[in-house]
Amino acid sequence: MALPACAVRAFEPPRQPERGAPARTTCPRRHSRVEAELAASRPGSVAASVRAGPPRGVSHGFHSRPLLDKPRKASSSLAGAACAPLFALLSRGRRRRMHVLRRRWDLGSLCRVLLTRGLAALGHSLKHVLGAIFSKIFGPLASVGNMDEKSNKLLLALVMLFLFAVIVLQYVCPGTECQLLRLQAFSSPVRDPYRSEDESSARFVPRYNFTRGDLLRKVDFDIKGDDLIVFLHIQKTGGTTFGRHLVRNIQLEQPCECRVGQKKCTCHRPGKRETWLFSRFSTGWSCGLHADWTELTSCVPSVVDGKRDARLRPSRNFHYITILRDPVSRYLSEWRHVQRGATWKASLHVCDGRPPTSEELPSCYTGDDWSGCPLKEFMDCPYNLANNRQVRMLSDLTLVGCYNLSVMPEKQRNKVLLESAKSNLKHMAFFGLTEFQRKTQYLFEKTFNMNFISPFTQYNTTRASSVEINEEIQKRIEGLNFLDMELYSYAKDLFLQRYQFMRQKEHQEARRKRQEQRKFLKGRLLQTHFQSQGQGQSQNPNQNQSQNPNPNANQNLTQNLMQNLTQSSRQKENRESLKQNSGKEQNGNASNGTNDYIGSVEKWR
C-alpha cells in the first residue's frame, strides 16, 4: 500500500526554501502562512488542493475571511492525514504555543477595537449633547463672540472646579464619617449629654418607691461656714478620678492649691486656714487607708476638732459622699490590681475601738503580697475582703459585732449588713455611679450648688473590660458578691430617679421664670398704654368728653383687656403643663409641681 505524498514528506528531512522564497521567521503566525504558501506553490502537492488557512479551532483574525464550514472529522488512519492541513504536521508543543498566541492576539485586538470605537461614539454623543445644552443656555449671547470656544472654556472651568472640590473634600475628610456626622447634625437636634451615656432611654421603670425627701437632695453647703464634705473612697470604683475633680476641677472663690510633685492639695475656706474637704487628696489617709463608714464616722470628728476644747467645737454638718461601681467590673479590677502587687496592708479596719485579730480576719496569702495570683485562686479565698466590699464599707459593722462572725448566723448577718448599707447610702448627701459620669457631675452640682470647670469623661475601656471571662465565671463572681449586686441595683434605681426628679424640677423652675417674665412684660405694656391714655386726656379734656360721653368706658375696656390677658396666660400655662406632664397623673396643687414625679411612679411601674 502506497503512502500519501504528505505522509512520505513528513518523514523526509526538512527542505531548504527555494530561491526567491521568503525567509523563515520565528513568528508563529507568519511561519504557518509561509509554510502554507510554499506547500501550495509546489505542483502535485496534496496541500495544493487544501485551502490555505489556519487549522480547526484557530481564529482567522478580526479582519480575515470567515471560517469555512464544519470540517470533516479526522480519521485515525494515515490516510486521514492527507485531508488535514499542513499545520497538523508540526510538533504538538509548537502547535499548542501557536494556538495560544493566536487566540491572545485576536482577543486583544478585538478588545482594543471595541474600546476605541466605543469611546469615539461616546465622545461624539457627549459633544452633541453638550453642544445642544450650551446652545439652549447661551443662545441669546451667541452674537457676542465665538460660542463654541467660550462654551468649551466654560465647560473646562466647571470640570476643573469640580475636580478641585472633590480633591479638597477627600483631603479634609477621606472617609464617609464626616458626611454622616453632617447629615446627623442637620437631621436631628442636639442630643442631651446626660441621656445616652449607656445608650439607654432616659425614662426607665423604677423598682423601688422613694419619698420626695429621698429624691430631693439639696444641701445648704456654705464653704465659708463650718460644714465639711467627707469622701468615702471605696477601692476600684473610680474614686481617684473623682477625688482629683474635687480638688482641681471645681469653680471656687479660693481654689485648692496643688503643687507639682505633691499628692495632697491645700483646700482652705475663703479667709480661713481650715479645710472644707476631707479626702485623700486634701487631708490624706488621716483615718487609715480606704477607711470605711464605721471608721470615718468615729474618726473624722476627732481628727478635725481633736485639738479644740469640747466647749469651743463648732456644730458641724458632715456631708458624706461616695462612688459605687458595677460589682463584677469592680471585682475584676481589684483582682488585676492585686496581681500587680497591691495589698492595702495599711488599712486599719478599726471597729468598736480596735482592729480585728488575725483569727477574725485571716490573710489570703503568706508572702509580702499576692502578686501574680490567678483568678481562680483569688475567688477561692473565703476571707477575701474583695467579696461584697461595697456593702461592708458602707454598713455599720458595729451592728453585727464587727469582724467576729460568731456573733450571729451568716444569713442574719448578711441581711443586717445589706439593710444598713442601703440606709446609709440613701441618707448620704450624695453618691455617684462610675457608669454614669455626666449624671454624677450633674447631681453633685445640683446638690452642693458647686459647678465643675470641665465636664466629666466616660471611660468605657478599663482594665476590667479587657478581662475576658465566660458565663460560668461571671455567675460565680456574682454569687460571691450577691450583697453588692443587690446594693448596686438599689443604688442605680435611686440614682436614676434622683436624676429624673432633679431634671424635672429644673424644667419647672425654668417654666416658672418664663411665666414671670411674661407677666412682667405684660404689666409694662399695660402701664405704657395707660400713661399714653392719661397724657392724651390731660391735653384735650373737652374733646375727650365729647367723644366719650361715658366716663366708665375706659375703665371697662381696661378690665376686659386685663381679663383677656389673664385668660390667655392661663391657657398657655395649661398647655405647657399638659406638654410637660403628658402621660403622668396630675396632682391637685398646680402651683407646686415637684410632686408630679412622685405621683407618677406607680403608673410607670
**Cα torsion angle, 246, 248, 250, 253, sign:** positive
The grid coordinates of residue 517 equal: 417674665
Instruction: Decide if 233 is catalytic.
Output: no
> Quick check: 283 and 274 in contact, CB under 8 A?
no
Q: Residue 400's closest CA among 267, 482, 294, 529?
A: 294
Q: Residue 135's closest CA among 112, 159, 152, 113?
A: 152
The grid coordinates of residue 396 equal: 455599720
Distance CA 348, CA 355 (A): 6
Distance CA 115, CA 113 (A): 5
Phi, psi for residue 155 in degrees, rounded to 5: -60, -45
Q: How many CB atoms lie within 10 A of CB 361?
A: 15
**Active-site residue, selected from the candidate residues 290, 349, 427, 507:** 290
Calculate ∠ Cα 541-547-551, nearest 5°. 70
The owner of cell 465665538 is 146
Q: Residue 355's closest CA among 434, 295, 406, 418?
A: 295
The grid coordinates of residue 248 equal: 482641681
Burial of 184 (0-12, 13-18, 19+ CB in 10 A): exposed
To which H or E segment does residue 412 belong? helix 410-427
Phi, psi for residue 478 in degrees, rounded to 5: -65, -35
The owner of cell 488512519 is 77
Task: Enumerate the active-site residues.
Answer: 290
